[in-house]
Amino acid sequence: MKQVFRLCMIAIVFFTLAGKAFCHFGMVIASDNMVMQHDDRNINVQLSFSHPMEMIGMELEKPKVFKVVFDTKHFDLLSALKPASVMDHSGWQLDYGINRPGVYVFYMEPQPYWEPAEDVFIIHYTKTIVAAFGDDDGWNDEIGLKTEIVPLSKPYGLYAGNVFQGIVKLDSKIVPNAQVEIEYYNRDKMAQAPSDYMVTQTIKADKNGVFTYGVPKSGWWGFSALNEADFVLKTPDGEEKDVELGAVLWVHFQDWQHKEQEGK
């Protein structure tokens, strides 16, 4: 097992014994991931670095990169970001107007985050996908991040209970048997894990880098595939430390709805 996984497991065991199990997630959350003609065409996109199930925030410096991909073109949005408070910690947000049909992929590369508890730097390449006006070509395109999850299931238009699949890639190559951590964004704080073991779900991809997960509840779910970087970074004290790279994808699932019966 690679060093970052060993350190992550040590941290999980430590915090579980202390009563909490902490896993970090870069977060890119849109106010709507399916924009239709009759909808408000302005969406809000919020960026944070957090423990989403336990609703514990961390500080997110202004990202190194924040862009949207539309029609295979990358558009820089970094200068449009405004400070925001997310889970009582610093985050970022912007309002974005959806004007044309198609798929919009919002993604960020954060500044490296030094985590003394795990003795490692963390960089989570995080993205979410918004479809607009009935056009959804390109939802499974790879966008060229250092590491990313390429969806095999459409990452929108999903019911709670659907199975979601993705491929884990690092430097555009599949990652066999990749470890994928999964958490629910407990935004209303109404969900409670029966056990600390269930705060973060962990699965393994197959030999082709494909993972499969059945989502039990509506809302936003984060999928984070972790790998060790082929480089090191220096701490404020000048020590060289390993770097955990996370390929993070946020996907929204919705409840099944029923028509109201006539006469009621």
Task: Dump pLDDT digits (tens) for 212-229.
Answer: 999 999 999 999 999 999
- Number of domains making up the chain: 1
Residues in the chain: 264
What confidence category does residue 263 fall into, taking pLDDT thresholds of 50, 70 and 90?
low
Gyration radius of the chain over CA positions = 18
Amino acid at 84: A
Q: Which residues of 171-183 are buried (b: 16+ CB within 10 A; e: fewer)?
A: eeebbeebbbbbb
What confidence category does residue 41 fall into, taking pLDDT thresholds of 50, 70 and 90?
confident
Task: Report how far residue 29's alpha carbon sits from residue 126's, in angstroms, rounded to the nearest whole number.
Answer: 10
Residue 30 lies in a domain: yes
What integer is the mean pLDDT of 104-121? 95
Residue 260 lies in a domain: no
Q: Where are the alpha helices (DSSP H) in 18-149?
A: none
Residue 264 lies in a domain: no
Residue 245 sits in which domain range? Answer: 3-254
- pLDDT number for residue 260: 77
Q: Are 103 and 70 in contact (CB under 8 A)?
A: yes
- pLDDT number for residue 232: 96
What confidence category does residue 11 fall into, taking pLDDT thresholds of 50, 70 and 90?
very low
Residue 261 lies in a domain: no
Q: pLDDT averaged over the chain?
A: 90
Q: Are 121 and 243 in contact (CB under 8 A)?
A: yes
Residue 263 lies in a domain: no
What confidence category does residue 117 fall into, taking pLDDT thresholds of 50, 70 and 90?
confident
For residue 168 the two structure tokens come to 């884990």
Q: Is the pLDDT of residue 76 over 90?
A: yes
Q: Is the pLDDT of residue 9 over 80?
A: no
Instruction: Check residues 4 and 190 and name the one with the higher pLDDT.
Output: 190
Residue 69 lies in a domain: yes
- pLDDT number for residue 7: 44
Q: Is the pLDDT of residue 5 over 60?
A: no
- Distances in whole angstroms, Cα of residue 17 to Cα of each of 179, 248, 256: 22, 27, 38
Residue 199 lies in a domain: yes
Residue 262 lies in a domain: no
What integer is the mean pLDDT of 156-166? 97
Instruction: Check residues 202 and 258 and name the one with the higher pLDDT.
Output: 202
What confidence category does residue 259 fall into, taking pLDDT thresholds of 50, 70 and 90?
confident
Lowest mean pLDDT among 131-135, 147-151, 205-209, 250-254: 131-135
Q: Are 21 and 200 in contact (CB under 8 A)?
A: yes
What integer is the mean pLDDT of 3-25? 49
